[in-house]
Amino acid sequence: MTELPLIGEAVAVAAEPRLAGARIGVVTFPGTLDDRDAARAVRLAGGTPVPLWHADNALGDVDAVVIPGGFSYGDYLRAGAIARFAPLMSKIIDAANSDARLPVLGICNGFQILTESHLLPGSMIKNDHLKFMCRDQVLRVENNSTDWTLDYEAGQEITVPLKNQDGQYIADEKTLDALEAEGRVVFRYVGFNPNGSRRDIAGISNAAGNVVGLMPHPEHAVEVGYGPESLDGIGGSDTDGLAFFTSVLNKIVGANK
Amino acid sequence: MPRIVVDVMPKPEILDPQGKAIVGALPRLGFTSFSSVRQGKRFELTVDGEVTDAILAQAREAAETLLSNPVIEDVVNVEVVEA
């Protein structure tokens, strides 16, 4: 997590120097895949990524945490079920629920870990079509007041990669109604529901808006030339995911617009 | 050595995608008598020595906290099986 490799226009983002003081922890479990991409996204957005190890007993000096995607513990038992009991997770759960309300973002397997941790309601089961799916996916930002979506416009449509097998979001009707009523459906699939998720839900937040989880991968859409292609007619740009990271960085340094 | 068997099933109201795929495959092999399949999990917890009430209680707690997710699954059986 040191220097950025020389690919793409890594300096294309006009990252503001004052954001570099914000430290974003990125957790690695056995089987995590996307920790390097998440750390790179933090850096491209102007922040300082801090590697965190699942077996650590202390969170250290971080201002927010990203739980990245992958297959922690090989998805054994249930996706995220074993990772949820890692020593570092109990620290993250406490910090997210504390008065300080540590911002936490769970992406894909990270979202599954957050539901297993009961930081977010509901659960993920196998995609309704039973296949692993990888595609560029259009999402609508339904709530731009969470810590991780402040830099988006309400109702903005973004395109980011989606890649999962256990991506079907489910919860009972009462929970779904409550999520809708409280504005906690943060992202919805647009045009195509890739996994049978209830009410096209792609991502949700906790009541305070500091904990957000989603199945698609914003950290893979942060660099010109390396994000979703905008040539296949579904629109979007290569860097639609970057605002996740600028949102939380700006919030930490107290500069959201 | 005795084992404690824990059976976990998807909740009845949750469509089980794996069971659905299995029921679709059965008729292709000539098994035409089954209208529905639901797939669950069986855990076998081996105990060194006697299964006391306290150990059985631990197994029940493990079943509810780690072995199953109460949002999507039910623990349908916890029983002691002598070897």
Q: Is the dihedral of CA A126, A127, A129, A132 positive or negative?
A: negative
Beta carbons of A125 and B14 less than 8 Å apart: yes
Question: Which pLDDT tens digit goes with each residue over B22-44?
Answer: 999 999 999 999 999 999 999 99
- Predicted local distance difference test score (pLDDT) of residue A1: 46
Question: Which of B11, B14, B42, B72 is the mutation pick for testing A, counting most A CBs within 10 A?
Answer: B72
**Among A82, A85, A170, beta carbon nearest to B72:** A170
ipTM rounded to 2 decimals: 0.82
**Among A77, A125, A128, beta carbon nearest to B72:** A125
Taking the CA of residue B68 and the nearest CA in chain A, the distance in Å comes to 8
In sequence order, the 6+-apart residues with CB closer than 8 A to the CB of B78 are B4, B5, B6, B7, B56, B59, B60, B63
Give SS3 for A48: strand
Cα distance between residue A230 and residue A195, in whole Å: 23
Q: What CATH number corresponds to the domain at position B12?
A: 3.30.1280.10
Task: Kindly list the residues from chain B whose CB atom is less than 8 angstroms away from the CB atom of residue A213.
Answer: none
Question: Which pLDDT tens digit goes with each residue over B46-55?
Answer: 999 999 999 9
Question: Which pLDDT tens digit goes with each residue over A147-198?
Answer: 999 999 999 999 999 999 999 999 999 999 999 999 999 999 999 999 999 9
Task: Kindly list the residues from chain A whose CB atom is less than 8 angstroms away from the CB atom of residue B13.
Answer: 172
Tell me the whole-structure pTM to 2 decimals.
Answer: 0.90
Residues of chain A with pLDDT under 50: 1-2, 6, 9, 12
CA dist A60 to A24, A25, A84, A148, A152, Å? Answer: 11, 9, 19, 21, 29
Answer whether residue B83 shows pLDDT above 90: no
Q: Which of residues 64-83 of B touch A (CB under 8 A)?
A: 66-67, 69, 71-72
Range of the domain at B57: 1-79
Count of the separate structural domains present in chain B: 1
Strands (E), A4-67: 23-28, 48-53, 64-67
Angle at A173 between CA A164 and CA A199, to 5 degrees: 45
Nearest residue to A47 (alpha-carbon basis) of A252, A217, A211? A252
Q: Which of residues 191-230 of A touch B (CB under 8 A)?
A: 196
Q: Is A217 a catalytic residue?
A: yes
